[in-house]
Amino acid sequence: MANTSTNATSTVDNGVNVAALISAREALAQAPQAAQFKWRAACEWKNGTHSHSTVEGYYGLGQEQRHRRTFTFDADHPEVFASEDNGATPVEYVLVGLASCLTAGIAAVAQHRNIQLRSVTATIEGDMDIQGILGVDSDVRNGFGGIKVTYKIDADAKREDIEALVAQSQKRSAVYDIVTNPTNVTVVVN
Amino acid sequence: MSRCLSERAIDHVVLERGEVAHSWRTERWDSLRLLTPNWQSRLPGFFYRGDDPDGYRTLPEVIDFITDYAKSIAAPVRTHTNVTSVRGNEDGYLVRTDQGGWRCRILVLASGACNIARVPAFASRMPAAITQVTAQQYRNPAALADGGVLVVGASASGTQIAHEVHRSGRPVFMSVGEHIRAPRLYRGRDLEWWMDAAGVLDERYDQVEDISRARRVPSLQLAGTPDRSTLDLNALTAIGVKLVGRLAGITDDGKAQFAGSLRNMCAMSDLKMNRLLDLIDEWARTNGLGDNVAPAERLSPTRVEDAPPLGLDLKAGAIKTIIWATGFRPDYSWLEVPVLDRKGMLIHDGGVAAAPGLYLMGTPFLRRRKSTLIDGAGDDARELSAHLAAYLDGARKRLSA
């Protein structure tokens, strides 16, 4: 039998279950301990600058959780660095993380604001002076000097509303926060 | 509220820890002017009769205004009476003060939303040579050391303080987090006039989509400038104030770290301002004002340099003072009634607190967008005093039954 249920108030569908997100927000406001998550990845050196990482389990909602399957990521450096280019560079993974986080946020905010998206594409570029990582000049930082993300968005909305989507997505993005603010990092050897 | 209670012949006292208008006398900077125009401070039975309706009251004028109102309504104020604790008892509340105790059936909390300056926890890592001042403690530039000043916070207080401190010859860095830009005049009229006329300030707490969010929205970046000029980030940049991102931390070796989000903070602020101006334009059009006011316009976007600094060495000597204009929170440390949420905010429904006979006044969006304005007190007091009177009647009937 066909599912005949319809949403009377909205025909916008960006594939985001906003009702579930909002009820989760209300539930977690009552039970803040369930909001404590730990995200994890494991990384194993292969050869040279090549490493193989996996993402499988994480902790949240008070218990261990698992992705539907194990995701794997090869990281390496390109041949201009005399490497074998077995995967994207780690800094490119950072760009992927930022762009995908902002894009997910745009879809969620658009759904919440009743804006139908037709297409969303982003290009992201990070400037880097590699004199930093090569130790040529100690005044040059290792990381990006700056990052630029450029969106093309086709949606049933005015330009200001699309700009507001993109602004709100930055405001609520975990990776944007991670990239734009300092984070304490502890690295230990067991 | 006192005036509304008197109208209803409800016996009451007003407890004041100092003199009437205490926080205006003791917790504001010298040059502060009210950010709403004179005509807008309307209280029940009391309104502006002077010859400068569009001006902004100076601090002494605000103090006089509130003091005169208390006199004109013969408010039963007990001055120099500091409340030390409030507890529930069988038929109401027990209020202890440094001048003895009171028992009351009903208690109205009108102690305000701005009792304690919010300062981030990492302020404790500030190098000792830097003097830290909150917007509540700041008085005037001359009281600061010579040398650079980092003003943290870009809402109404931060921008006004940054402006006068920079003009005193002390170079200012301004750390910018979330804020909402607002033109002082729009289409030839005060922005407050538009918000009042278009009903924005009368929007009710039970009509907005997400009231807890609406109560957290920063207040408008407005200033009571004598020349009615707009004091926004572009105006500060124009006089040489240096904009940096939100202060995110201080390292162990004394470096301030600024977030890389300055561009988005400014973009969001511009978008929010323009949404308000769109609403005003639409209201002007549908109400036939289009020809009687100046044409619609938009301010140029907030200017952000290509690569704003992400750090500042606080031990290098250029910065002598940091001014925290990072907002306030209420002080309920004396309230021994279980009505606070886990963030320490009072749980209430439009000022009716989650305890019988307990009421709240003067906090953001209590019942209306204007609830924190002097102009908002009247409507809130009228409605809450009606609720209060009905509660009191019910209590009397229960007692006599």
What is the domain extent for residue B49?
Answer: 2-115+330-400
The answer on B209 and B92 residing in a single domain is: no
Q: Determine which of B268, B272, B304 to mutate to test the interface with A (most A C-beta atoms within 10 Å).
A: B268
pLDDT at A8: 41
Nearest to B352 by CA among B343, B364, B339: B339
Spatial distance between the Cα atoms of B183 and B190, rounded to a whole number of angstroms: 8
Please state, in angstroms and rounded to a whole number, the distance separating the CA atoms of residues A30 and B171.
Answer: 46
Beta strand B172-176 with B148-152: parallel, antiparallel or unpaired? parallel
**Within-domain flag for A122:** yes
Q: Is the pLDDT of residue A10 over 70?
A: no
H or E segment and range at residue A45:
strand A42-47
ipTM of the complex, rounded to two decimals? 0.84
CB contact at 8 A, B322 and B130: yes
pLDDT at A49 over 60: yes
Of the partner residues B251, B271, B342, the one whose CB lies closest to the CB of residue A164: B271
Same domain membership, residue B321 and residue B216 = yes
Distance from CA of A160 to the nearest CA of B (A): 7
Identify whether residues A140 and A169 lie together within a single domain: yes
Pair B95, B139 in one domain: no
Share of chain A above pLDDT 70, in %: 95
pLDDT, tens digit (0-9, with 9 covering 90-100), for B255-306: 999 999 999 999 999 999 999 999 999 999 999 997 889 999 999 999 999 9
Tell me how far apart the alpha carbons of residues B218 and B214 are, in angstroms, rounded to a whole number. 9
- Mean predicted lDDT score pLDDT of chain B: 96
Rounded to 5°, the CA angle B24-B353-B99 comes to: 50
- For A135, phi then psi, to 5°, come to 75, 25
Angle of helix A90-112 relative to helix A18-30, nearest 10 degrees? 100
- Mean per-residue pLDDT, B199-204: 97
Nearest chain B residue to A180, by CA: B260
**Which residues of chain A lie closer than 8 angstroms to B253, CB-CB?**
none
pLDDT at B401: 67
Task: Name the interface residues of B facing A (CB cutoff 8 Å).
Answer: 245, 248-249, 251, 257, 259-261, 264, 267-268, 271, 274-275, 278, 306-307, 342
Rounded to 5°, the CA angle B296-B297-B301 comes to 155
**Domains contained in chain B, number:** 2
d(CA A59, CA A33): 12
For testing the chain B interface, which of A181, A183, A185 should be mutated: the one with the most B CBs within 10 Å?
A181
Let me know if residue A70 belongs to a domain.
yes
Residue A74 lies in a domain: yes
pLDDT value at B317 more than 80? yes
User: B254 and B197 in one domain?
Assistant: yes
Chain B: residue nearest A168 by CA?
B268
Same domain, A120 and A98: yes
Phi, psi for A108 (deg, rounded to 5): -65, -45
Pairing of strands B319-324, B311-313: unpaired
Same domain, yes or no, for A82 and A61?
A: yes
Domain that holds residue A157: 89-181
* Alpha carbon separation from B393 to B73, B160, B262, B388 (Å, rounded): 24, 47, 55, 9
The pTM score is 0.92
Residue A82 lies in a domain: yes
Q: What is the CATH number of the domain that holds B99?
A: 3.50.50.60
Q: Does A172 reside within a domain?
A: yes
What's B303's DSSP letter?
P
Are B115 and B100 in contact by the 8 Å Cβ rule? The answer is no
pLDDT-derived band at A21, boundaries 50, 70, 90: confident
- Among the listed ranges A5-19, A133-147, A155-169, B172-186, which one has the minimum average pLDDT value? A5-19
Q: What is the pLDDT of residue B335?
A: 98
Contact between A31 and A24 (Cβ < 8 Å): no
Q: Do B271 and A163 touch (CB under 8 A)?
A: yes
Distance from CA of A70 to the nearest CA of B (A): 33
Q: Work out how many CB contacts closer than 8 A connect A with B.
A: 38
Task: Give how many domains chain A has, as a whole number.
Answer: 2
Give B-chain residues touching A181 at CB under 8 angstroms: 248-249, 257, 259-261
